[in-house]
């Protein structure tokens, strides 16, 4: 019941912020961000698209759904320590960027490009906390529970937990800071369909007629970055991983316009690839955290030994996942896109 109340609260707040004149919107946003209220993470939901929609209306629907998720998960980060909050906020920001890029070749591209740049910046800020959450909750803590005889895990867990707290507080300051609020105000303006968003000048053809040509360049970018996949270095793999995410979220945003079967099959393939790349990325993030000069508990031999255990397991799993990923990638490339 309380989750339904919070959903209603977000919906009311969305309507209030969009309906508030731009000159008073900053004050209304500050008041809402500063209010004491319960908070819970919100997962992504499909936008309210339907065949026959003009692109401008479809764009507003996509941006409003992204705004709902960002507002709810931003409040969760501000009001709770639930690790699902940063995770869903980062997902929301990535979906927003995918939505912005779907309309990149249509009028209003400059405004969307500026917002995309800011969403990327904020996503990196949120990602720093999310990466620590994954390391602590999904890698370190299970390893410590599996090897209780290893004394080095206690100081290591304490050090990483302390860093998580510091990064969480830093993120909250960013979200409440001027740049964070300016980002939200720009997103609200976009979702409101105001002149600055440029959506009013978009073509009048139904959005489903434009959807395939929106997806094609995103799909081709993925294929291009995955060529000769076995020869990719770490940076190129990361670029491919990001491109896959962009394609997956773009498909999810346009999903209501296509037959469910085709969408479901492609989303499943992309999700599997994304999970495989995620395991590779976790190993890289783990090494970056524990092999730097000021690494947590770097001066404690027992803690370093515990860190070495976790790094070794992550590297082994990454090698195993890589072989599976290559096979899955070739299977994905052979499939005909459902929108063609």
Residue 340 covered by a domain: no
pLDDT (mean) for 105-120: 88
pLDDT at 250 over 80: yes
With contact defined as beta carbons under 8 Å apart, do 266 and 335 qualify? yes
Q: Is residue 169 a part of any domain in this protein?
A: yes
Q: What is the mean pLDDT of residues 166-189?
A: 96
CATH number of the domain where residue 324 is located:
1.40.20.10
* Least confident segment among 162-171, 237-246, 292-301, 312-321: 292-301
The Cα–Cα gap between 56 and 53 comes to 8
Q: Looking at residues 246-260, what average pLDDT do you find?
A: 95
Residues 205 and 196: their CA atoms lie apart, in Å, by 21
Asked if residue 161 belongs to a domain, the reply is yes
339 belongs to a structural domain: no
In a domain, 301, yes or no: yes
SS3 of residue 8 by DSSP: helix
Residue 293 lies in a domain: yes
DSSP string, 155-190: HHHHHHHHHHHHHHHHHHHHHHSHHHHHHHHHHHHH
Percent of the chain with pLDDT over 70: 96
Q: Tell me the C-alpha distance between 245 and 261, whole Å.
A: 20
* Domain ranges, residue 143: 2-334
pLDDT tens by residue, 4-37: 555 677 888 888 889 899 999 999 999 888 877 7
Encoded tokens for 264: 């479901």
The band of 69, judged by pLDDT with boundaries at 50, 70 and 90, is very high
Instruction: Give alpha helix (H) positions in 177-300.
Output: 178-192, 207-225, 234-254, 260-290
Give the pLDDT of residue 235: 86
Give the pLDDT score at 198: 46
Average pLDDT on 82-96 reads: 97
Q: Report the pLDDT averaged over residues 58-84.
A: 95
Residue 2's alpha-carbon distances to 9, 15, 37, 66, in angstroms, are 10, 20, 11, 22
pLDDT band, very low/low/confident/very high, at 285 (cuts 50, 70, 90): confident
User: What's the total number of domains in the chain?
Assistant: 1
Q: How many CA atoms lie within 13 A of 134 on its CB side?
A: 19
Residue 200 pLDDT more than 70? no
Residue 125: both structure tokens together: 């800020």
Q: pTM score, two decimals?
A: 0.92
Report yes or no on 254 lying in a domain.
Answer: yes
| 122-126, 151-155, 191-195, 298-302: the lowest-pLDDT one | 191-195
- Check residue 33 and give its pLDDT: 84
Flag whether pLDDT at 40 surpasses 60: yes
pLDDT tens, residue by residue, 206-230: 999 999 999 999 999 999 999 999 9
In this structure, is residue 166 part of a structural domain?
Answer: yes
pLDDT for the residue 5: 58
Which residue from 135, 55, 44 is spatially nearest to 95, judged by alpha carbons? Answer: 44
């Amino acid at each position: 019941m309380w989750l339904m109340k919070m959903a209603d609260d977000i919906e009311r707040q969305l309507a209030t912020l969009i309906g508030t004149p731009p000159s008073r919107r900053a004050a209304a946003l500050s008041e809402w961000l500063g209010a004491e209220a319960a908070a819970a993470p919100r997962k992504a939901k499909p936008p309210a698209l339907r065949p026959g929609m003009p692109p401008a209306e479809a764009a507003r629907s996509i941006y409003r759904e992204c705004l709902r998720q960002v507002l709810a998960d931003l409040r969760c980060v501000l009001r709770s320590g639930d690790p699902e909050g940063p995770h869903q906020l980062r997902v929301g920001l990535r979906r927003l960027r995918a939505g912005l890029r779907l309309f990149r070749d249509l009028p209003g591209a400059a405004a969307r490009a500026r917002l995309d740049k800011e969403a990327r910046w904020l996503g990196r800020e949120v990602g720093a906390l999310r990466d620590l959450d994954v390391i602590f909750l999904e890698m370190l803590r299970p390893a410590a529970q599996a090897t209780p005889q290893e004394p080095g895990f206690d100081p290591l867990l304490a050090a990483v937990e302390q860093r998580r707290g510091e990064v969480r507080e830093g993120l909250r300051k960013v979200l409440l800071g001027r740049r964070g609020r300016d980002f939200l105000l720009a997103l609200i303006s976009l979702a409101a369909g105001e002149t600055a968003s440029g959506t009013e000048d978009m073509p009048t053809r139904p959005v489903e007629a434009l959807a395939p040509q929106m997806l094609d360049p995103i799909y081709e970018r993925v294929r291009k970055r995955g060529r000769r996949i076995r020869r990719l270095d770490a940076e190129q793999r990361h670029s491919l991983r990001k491109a896959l995410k962009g394609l997956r979220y773009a498909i999810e945003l346009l999903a209501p316009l296509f037959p469910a079967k085709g969408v479901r099959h492609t989303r499943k393939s992309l999700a599997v690839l994304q999970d495989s790349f995620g395991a590779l990325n976790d190993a890289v993030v783990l090494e970056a955290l524990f092999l730097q000069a000021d690494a947590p508990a770097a001066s404690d031999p027992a803690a370093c030994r515990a860190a070495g255990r976790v790094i070794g397991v992550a590297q082994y799993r990454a090698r195993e996942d890589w072989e599976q990923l290559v096979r899955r990638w070739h299977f994905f490339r052979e499939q005909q896109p459902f929108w063609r």
